[in-house]
Structure 1
Amino acid sequence: MQSILTLLSMPLFFVSNALYPVDAFPSFLKFLSMFNPLTLLANGIRYFALGDNFSVIGNHYIYTATDIGVSFLGLLFFALSMLAISLWRFNKVDV
Structure 2
Amino acid sequence: MSEDLSGLRQKLAISLPGRIQAAVAGYEIFVASEPPVEAKGFAAWHAAAKSALAHVDLLVKLARWAEGGDEAEDADGNGGIDRMLSQARAALDALDDDEEPE
TM range (shorter): 0.3 to 0.5
Q: 1 or 2, which has the higher helix percentage?
A: 2
More strand by share: 1
Alignment TM-score, normalising by the size of structure 2: 0.35
Normalised TM-score (structure 1): 0.37
Higher relative contact order (CA closer than 8 Å, sequence separation 6+): 2
